[in-house]
Amino acid sequence: MRPVAALAAFLAVSAGSMEAGRPFPAAGGVMSGARAAEAPVDPVAALAAELESGGTPLAFAPSAKGYTPDLLRRLKIDDDTQVLVFSKTSLQQNFIGPGTPRAIYFNDTVSLGYIPGAPLIEMWAVGRDGAMRFYTLKNTQAAGARPEADADKCKICHAGLHPAAPGPLMMSVSTRPDGIVSQYSLFTDGRTPIAERWGGWYVTGRHGDMRHRGNVAADAAAPASPQAGQNLMSLAGRFDPARYPRQTSDIVALMTLEHETGFLNLAGDIQARVAFHSALATIDKAVDDLADYMLGIDGAVLSAPVEGASGFAERFAAQGPKDGNGRGLRDVDLRSRLFRYPLSYMIYSTAFDALPAEAKDKLYHRLADVLTGKDRSAKYLSLPAEDRAAAFDIVAATKPGLPAFWRREVSQADPAR
């Protein structure tokens, strides 16, 4: 799952994966065939069903944005999440370039991709069963327009990390001036060092003397100048501003999307291993990996303060839930790490709730053992005891359906906590 694969291997991975002599199925996903037809609905499928049954039609904007603004509104995605990728690394790569970057918008459950002038709007969504499904919508005005399932084309790429559990992908690449990938490709998530992130992406925001690989299209793996593309607050002159909802590709939104990407892929790995009856030890290892990711173990360290450019960080942190002291897992730090408390807000997500019951119970126990200090392994010593206790208490106050032992831990806690 770490970002070490070369681009040439990216598509080859989808041919298959082996674990202890057991082949994972081809890239059809954990839920496929008849089971997929019976699967619980996700937000995009719910919107499609509403439109098919005569609901209010999608509004078509007269600009190149087309259905994008109304889709964002109806899928409850804020446009301050906008991040822009100019590398030709998606289904509609012929329409992508530095002058027409692909815009990606997201929340905890749904992501939407839009390119000015491209025929399709692309979406993925996580269902209540934990499976990720893929959709497209023709971005030309038409009666009865609605998203349609389009798994086959999308999974060509999205099964690259796990053929049995297609998930979201973020990559850092070097591009030529036209956006064609030239070399140096990484899958990235919340553990990737900042210095290796965002090749082929636009990045707006301040980050001091930290360096990233964004905002530069060149053949070299590193920018020609140490200052090239760094600490940009504006993308003026890079593309037509009328074709996008915003003129930013916010650094905090990028980091948050990468965090979600890692979580969703690790959760998908657990789903697949349980569905295909993998050895118990490998399932336990997958649970431990997700627990460590949620706790921020091996998370990227910030060596300078980070400041976004779109207002995303402030709105994101203000979202609930909060405990009685006004604390929440969405609170950001942006000084030495992304989040204030050492536990991912994705504990509230559909993907977390959909984890298989036994695996989820083990995950809850692993998280609780670390947050309460029962597990004193060396790798957890960097988590301040006060922050661990705060994260535990926030969850106890805000997460519905907690196992009974979590609430018992609270009742037995040191009163000084």
Condensed to tens digits (0 to 9), the pLDDT of residues 11-59 reads: 333 333 323 333 333 333 444 433 444 544 899 999 999 999 999 999 9
86/150 Cα distance (integer angstroms): 23
Let me know how long the chain is. Answer: 417
Q: Going edge to edge, which strands form the sheet with 83-85?
A: 83-85, 102-106, 110-114, 120-126, 132-138, 148-149
pLDDT of residue 262: 95
Token code pair at residue 339: 């989040």
* Mean pLDDT value across residues 181-200: 90
Q: What is the maximum span of the chain, computed from C-alpha positions, in angstroms?
A: 62
Of 196, 182, 175, the closest CA to residue 4 belongs to 196
Rounded percentage of the chain residues whose pLDDT exceeds 70: 82
pLDDT of residue 17: 33
Q: Which residue has the tokens 């291997």?
A: 9
Of 221, 217, 222, 223, the closest CA to residue 239 belongs to 217
pLDDT of residue 206: 97
Condensed to tens digits (0 to 9), the pLDDT of residues 103-150 reads: 999 999 999 999 999 999 999 999 999 988 999 999 999 999 999 987
From the CB of residue 64, how many other CB atoms can be counted at a distance below 10 Å? 17
For residue 205, pLDDT over 70 is answered with yes
Condensed to tens digits (0 to 9), the pLDDT of residues 252-295 reads: 999 999 999 999 999 999 999 998 888 999 999 999 999 999 99
Query: What's the mean pLDDT when you consider all of the chain?
Result: 85
Q: Which residues contact 232 (CB under 8 A, 6 or more apart)?
A: 203, 204, 205, 215
pLDDT of residue 30: 45
* Mean pLDDT value across residues 202-231: 82
Please say whether the beta carbons of 114 and 254 come within 8 A: no
Condensed to tens digits (0 to 9), the pLDDT of residues 147-184 reads: 998 766 666 666 556 666 677 889 999 999 999 998 76
Please say whether the beta carbons of 155 and 26 come within 8 A: no
In terms of Cβ atoms closer than 10 Å to its own Cβ (0-12, 13-18, 19+), residue 236 is exposed
Condensed to tens digits (0 to 9), the pLDDT of residues 350-372 reads: 999 999 999 999 999 999 999 99
Q: At residue 82, what is the residue type?
A: Q
325/87 Cα distance (integer angstroms): 44
Q: Reduced to 3 states, what is the DSSP secondary structure of residue 283?
A: helix
